[in-house]
């Protein structure tokens, strides 16, 4: 497993990966996909930043109703990742499936201007997250297939850095639109829709078609081999056979295990606000602190993972998160506390978010790459969703301190187990 052993021999498709170039620069398709993600995240985060206030203060929804819609908004993507990954491999056209996902999300933005009931809003939000679920695995597969295995961490780091730039610009754009526009929420939704359409256009016009992989030595020409080789479509049986790969099972299992003890971002920010006595006016800026550190470190830590091993960086990221939990539990409420916690939170994402899909390069064959990415991503997302439910219940029953202490102890134990399971061994090569 490349996550566990950076010297693992290449698989059958590694020779093709080496032909894609071993230079330090990333493939052009990675930069284009990063631009698409940057633009799309500006659109999405504009809506995410104002949605709680819009639903509660403008439409008068109760916190319970908002919590239900928020669960739909964040949980739907995880449930359709497997579908998006398998369909992309089956039709042998990752760009097509990613385009459908981006297009569906773009279509949902103007619909927010037209709906006001709980059912209609829930449907629109579910469709928006369905688009995200459909596009995630095919998009990551295009990044992986256009990058040699020894540069996967750097490529995903570049993409995640560009994606995070959009996540930072979105709330800022919404903030200024609300201040400038008379009918602020409608203006935010309208501008968000236009930006989302721009992201789809960039994907359609500039991302190579068919399989999404473009070899650097082919000057960005599309890789159509998968579509023209006469092979039958990928069957569900082949996709399920991926679970027979010991290294994939170990990676998906460890991602799920660690996800079960990873407290959601919203809870981390709420805990930090209480612990550091941060005013409500400053609360919306807390995610920007995490995003800024993520942006700065995504590429360096991705490149570091390529050099010293992805297992080391991946586990170090969880140690960083555990340190943040410890500060929230026991550190004095000094002015430095918010900066330290947000920095550690950003390091966690920079060391894990791109490193995890990069670890699949030497595990999953090319024609099933999107399916393999979806399997690991779905296991992690569903585990984190379960963690959010459990943490919310524990907070309600025992309070925020005991709930976080339980999560910290669980994370420590799960990290120890993952370190053992993912250790470099001859058997996992």
Q: What is the pLDDT at residue 385? A: 79
Q: How confident is the model at residue 24 (pLDDT cuts 50, 70, 90)?
A: low
Lowest mean pLDDT among 198-207, 329-338, 387-396: 387-396
Residue at token pair 């805990």: 271
Please check the confidence at residue 206 and state whether its pLDDT lies above 70.
yes
Mutual angle of helices 310-330 and 400-421, in 10-degree steps: 160
Q: How confident is the model at residue 138 (pLDDT cuts 50, 70, 90)?
A: very high
CB 385 within 8 A of CB 75: yes
CA dihedral 305, 307, 312, 315 (to 10 degrees): 0
Please check the confidence at residue 362 and state whether its pLDDT lies above 90.
no
Please check the confidence at residue 216 and state whether its pLDDT lies above 50.
no
Alpha-carbon distance of 38 to 35, in angstroms, equals: 5
CB 202 within 8 A of CB 74: no
Q: What is the pLDDT at residue 15? A: 46
Mean local confidence (pLDDT), 204-209: 89
Q: What is the pLDDT at residue 64? A: 57
Q: How confident is the model at residue 126 (pLDDT cuts 50, 70, 90)?
A: confident
Alpha-carbon distance of 115 to 157, in angstroms, equals: 37
Please check the confidence at residue 220 and state whether its pLDDT lies above 50.
no
Please check the confidence at residue 416 and state whether its pLDDT lies above 50.
yes
First to last CA, the chain: 6
Please check the confidence at residue 6 and state whether its pLDDT lies above 50.
no
Mean local confidence (pLDDT), 145-156: 93
Q: What is the pLDDT at residue 425? A: 47
Lowest mean pLDDT among 128-137, 154-163, 280-289: 280-289
Radius of gyration of the chain (CA): 21
SS (H, E, C) the chain: CCCCCCCCCCCCCHHHHHHCCCCCCCCHHHHHHHHHHHHHHHHHHHHHHHHHHHHHHHCCCCHHHHHHHHHHHHHHHHHHHHHHHHHHHHHCCHHHHHHHHHHHHHHHHHHCCCCCCHHHHHHHHHHHHHHHHHHHHHHHHHHHHCCCHHHHHHHHHHHHHHHHHHHHHHHHHHHHHHHHCCCHHHHHHHHHHHHHHHHHHHHHHHCCCCCCCECHHHCCCECCHHHHCCCCCCCHHHHHHHHHCHHHHHHHHHHHHHHCCCCCHHHHHHHHHHHHCCCHHHHHHHHHHHHHHHHHHHHHHHHHHHHHCHHHHHHHHHHHHHHHHHHHHHCCCCCCHHHHHHHHHHHHHHHHCCHHHHCCCCCCCHHHHHHHHHHHHHHHHHHHHHHHHHHHHHHHHHCHHHHHHHHHHHHHHHHHHHHHHCCCCHHHC
Q: What is the pLDDT at residue 413? A: 96
Q: How confident is the model at residue 423 (pLDDT cuts 50, 70, 90)?
A: confident
The b-or-e profile of 110-130 (16+ CB within 10 A means b, else e) is bbbeebeeeeebbebbbebbb
Burial (CB count <10 Å: 0-12, 13-18, 19+), residue 429: middle
The b-or-e profile of 279-315 (16+ CB within 10 A means b, else e) is eeeeebebbbbbbbbbbbbbbebbbbbbeebbbbbbb
Mean local confidence (pLDDT), 220-227: 42
pTM metric for this prediction: 0.83
Mean local confidence (pLDDT), 12-19: 44
Q: How confident is the model at residue 336 (pLDDT cuts 50, 70, 90)?
A: very high
Q: What is the pLDDT at residue 269? A: 87
More confident residue, 208 or 373: 373
Provide the mean pLDDT of the chain.
83
Cβ-Cβ contacts under 8 Å for 240 (sequence gap 6 or more): none
* The token pair that represents 238 in the structure block: 């082949």
Alpha-carbon distance of 164 to 168, in angstroms, equals: 6
Q: What is the pLDDT at residue 58? A: 76
Lowest mean pLDDT among 80-94, 344-358, 386-400: 386-400
Alpha-carbon distance of 377 to 379, in angstroms, equals: 6
Q: How confident is the model at residue 213 (pLDDT cuts 50, 70, 90)?
A: very low
Mean local confidence (pLDDT), 90-118: 90
Alpha-carbon distance of 176 to 222, in angstroms, equals: 40
Lowest mean pLDDT among 192-196, 270-274, 410-414: 270-274
- With pLDDT > 70 as the criterion, what percentage of the chain qualifies? 82
């Amino acid at each position: 497993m490349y996550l566990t052993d950076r010297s693992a021999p290449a698989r059958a498709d590694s020779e093709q990966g080496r032909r894609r170039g071993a230079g330090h620069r990333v493939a052009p398709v990675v930069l284009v996909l990063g631009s698409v993600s940057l633009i799309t995240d500006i659109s999405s985060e504009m809506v995410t930043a104002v949605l709680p206030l819009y639903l509660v203060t403008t439409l008068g929804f109760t916190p319970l109703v908002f919590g239900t819609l928020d669960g739909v908004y964040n949980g739907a993507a995880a449930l359709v990742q497997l579908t998006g990954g398998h369909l992309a491999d089956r039709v042998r056209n990752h760009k097509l499936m990613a385009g459908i996902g981006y297009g569906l999300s773009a279509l949902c933005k103007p619909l927010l201007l037209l709906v006001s009931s709980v059912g209609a809003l829930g449907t629109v939000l579910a469709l928006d997250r369905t688009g995200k679920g459909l596009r995630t695995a095919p998009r990551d597969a295009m990044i992986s297939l256009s990058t040699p295995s020894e540069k996967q961490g750097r490529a995903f780091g570049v993409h995640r850095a560009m994606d995070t730039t959009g996540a930072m610009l979105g709330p800022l754009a919404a903030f200024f639109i609300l201040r400038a526009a008379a009918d602020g929420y409608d203006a935010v939704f309208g501008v968000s829709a236009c930006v989302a359409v721009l992201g789809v256009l960039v994907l359609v016009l500039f991302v190579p078609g068919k399989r999404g992989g473009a070899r650097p030595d082919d000057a960005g020409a599309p890789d159509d081999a998968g579509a023209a080789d006469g092979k039958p479509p990928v069957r569900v049986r082949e996709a399920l056979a991926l679970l027979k790969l010991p290294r994939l099972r170990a990676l998906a299992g460890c991602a799920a295990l660690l996800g079960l003890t990873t407290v959601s971002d919203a809870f981390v920010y709420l805990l930090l606000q209480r612990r550091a006595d941060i005013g409500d006016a400053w609360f919306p800026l807390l995610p920007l602190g995490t995003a800024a550190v993520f942006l700065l470190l995504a590429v360096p830590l991705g490149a570091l993972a390529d050099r010293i091993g992805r297992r080391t960086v991946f586990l170090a990221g969880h140690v960083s998160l555990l340190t943040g939990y410890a500060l929230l539990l026991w550190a004095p409420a000094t002015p430095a506390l918010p900066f330290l916690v947000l920095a550690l939170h950003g390091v966690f994402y920079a060391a894990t978010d791109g490193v995890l899909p990069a670890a699949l390069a030497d595990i999953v064959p090319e024609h099933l790459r999107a399916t393999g990415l979806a399997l690991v991503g779905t296991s992690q997302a569903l585990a984190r969703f379960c963690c959010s439910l459990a943490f919310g219940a524990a907070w309600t029953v025992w309070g925020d301190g005991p709930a976080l202490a339980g999560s910290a102890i669980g994370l420590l134990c799960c990290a120890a187990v993952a370190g053992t399971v993912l250790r470099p061994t001859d058997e996992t090569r």
